[in-house]
Structure 1
Amino acid sequence: MQSNFRRNEREWVRTSMRTPGILIFGMVMAPCGWILNLVTTVAPNWRTLQGFTNLPPDRVYEQGIFDICIASTATERQQCNQQDTAYFSNNIINIAKGMMLASLIVTLIGIALAIPGVRCWRTRPQWTICTIAGVLIFCSGVLTIIPVAWYTHILSDITSNTQRIDVRVGYCIVLGYIGGIFEVLGGFVMALGCCRCCGGKNRGERPIEQVLGSRSQPQRTPRRVDVPSLTPTRSGAASSIPESNRYSLDDDVSFPRAKSPAARSGISNPSFNGKPYDADL
């Protein structure tokens, strides 16, 4: 059983030491979502009230979950820390405070867990820690979307001491939706590391058979081809020819042989009885 376990461990290998793309995606989306959620929590602009009967037409009330400000469309000056007991007594306000603060804390915990899990100088990431971090970041995004969606749904039903005519959605609602979606997507993609899918591409891995390729197959021995030798070999029949007959065979050529050194020097053969010619001198 232990050998089978080790074999299963070695079925997949990493193609490089780079951090997998799902972890990079999660580590980018989570901080961006946290910043947007922080602005949504502290900014006093979940909804705006306009069109008051007893106030100037350019007067605007900006209401958040922690503060209320009075602004003017003609100037950029704001007067915050306004009291509105009817507004802060709504259940949605207290629930939104708790869930938004919890979302910020849970996101920080998830990022803190993900940092040691995605270290690129390790042989492979710590997928268990990264999966837990992804689940926490995903839950923090859900904690943001729930109060923002609830507040938007009952936007006109929230009571307030100020009588208004026009109620509009503030920019904090938009930022809250975007931040929550960032965290949900980042946490979900990071949590995909708990399982190997898409052929191991989500983890930056490939099957060992694809990595090894032809190296895993037995090497073929090259076929031997006999090439005829260009050096002539003397057979036994040639070696059995007498010495005197060899010279006669050598003289049977179609081109004149070169003169020996003795003939070139003028030394004649005493056994030669013929007359010398000019060509012999």
Structure 2
Amino acid sequence: MPRRSAEEWIRLSLRTPGILIFGMVLSPCGWILDLTATVAPNWRTLNNIPNTPSTEYIEQGIWDICRTTTSSERKECNLQDTTYFNHEIIEIAQGLMVASLIVTLIGLAVAIPGVRCWRDRPNWLLAGLGGLLIFLSGVMTIIPIAWYTHILNDIASVSPTIDVRVGYCIILGYIGGIFEILAGFVMFIGICRCCGGKNRGERRVDEVMGPRFAQKPPPRPIDVPRLDRPRSIASSVPYSRDSMDDDVSFPRAKSPAVPSANTSYGGRPYDADL
């Protein structure tokens, strides 16, 4: 059976996979919308306030309260309402919205190194971990937004006859939270290869190159001679002195004669011969 390994999957291009592009585009958009919903004082509006002109209404957020008129751009902020700010949902919304903004930035910081498109393949573990953090930040945004909307009319106001309406911060918060949830989920599914590898932009080797490339051919055996094997008689050459003398005769060089002393003429060596 062919060995199953990571080399059976290949990427046809070095482009960043679509799921990572989708997540990296939606995440900053959701963060900007959540930031606007956090700092803007328009979670709900109070209309038809008694003893005030019909053109005036009050905008209430989680950090500030402003009085605005429809006829001009004049806005008076920093209004005090102890009953409103002491409500449980206000404190929870302040903590979760700020935490959501911080977690989104951390998720982007973790995901960006894993989404590097100049490498052969992204670091799916880092990208998936960043996507998980972004997903959690979206959940932390939706919780206070949905809770605030559910008890919109139950939060204490100046008069029970006031017309309470949803502010634009609620709508921006919903959209931003949904963006982050979708972006984080799509990036997280990149950890597991699914849909035939299409989520990663990968395909099997046998689908691209054919079944003959799916398995590497076995290595060719190489016969390495051993030193301890018996030596063949036919291939061995005896190098003995007797055989060399029998087969080939080499002439020997004559050694020079040893000069002898001349003992003639009385044994005097200094007499030269004539």
Q: Tell me the TM-score normalised to structure 1 length.
A: 0.73
Give unpaired runs (5+ residues) of structure 1: 218-281
Contact residue 52 and residue 163 of structure 1 kept, 8 A: no
Give unpaired runs (5+ residues) of structure 2: 215-274
CA distance in 2, matches of 1:69, 1:216: 70
Q: Which of 54, 60, 63 pairs up with 1:63?
A: 60
Q: CA RMSD in A?
A: 1.9
1:85-112, CA deviations, whole angstroms, 9 ceiling, x for partnerless residues? 0100000000000000000000000001
CA gap of 1:6–1:130, structure 2 versus 1, over 3 A, is farther
Q: Which of 92, 101, 111 pairs up with 1:104?
A: 101
Amino-acid identity (%): 65
Q: Aligned pairs, how many?
A: 215
1:53-112, CA deviations, whole angstroms, 9 ceiling, x for partnerless residues? 211111100000000000001111100111110100000000000000000000000001
CA distance in 2, matches of 1:129, 1:5: 30
1:170-199, CA deviations, whole angstroms, 9 ceiling, x for partnerless residues? 000000000000000000000011110111
**Which structure's residues are more often helix, by fraction?**
1
Shift of 1:5: 11
CA distance in 1, matches of 2:177, 2:192: 24
Q: Which residue of 2 aligns with 1:16?
A: 13
Shift of 1:160: 3.0
Q: Tell me the TM-score normalised to structure 2 length.
A: 0.75
Note the 1:1-281 alignment, pairs <5 A: 7-161=4-158, 164-213=161-210, 216=213
CA distance in 1, matches of 2:87, 2:161: 17
CA gap of 1:190–1:80, structure 2 versus 1, over 3 A, is same
1:3-49, CA deviations, whole angstroms, 9 ceiling, x for partnerless residues? x9984121111111011000000000000000000000000000000
CA gap of 1:164–1:39, structure 2 versus 1, over 3 A, is farther
CA distance in 1, matches of 2:40, 2:199: 38
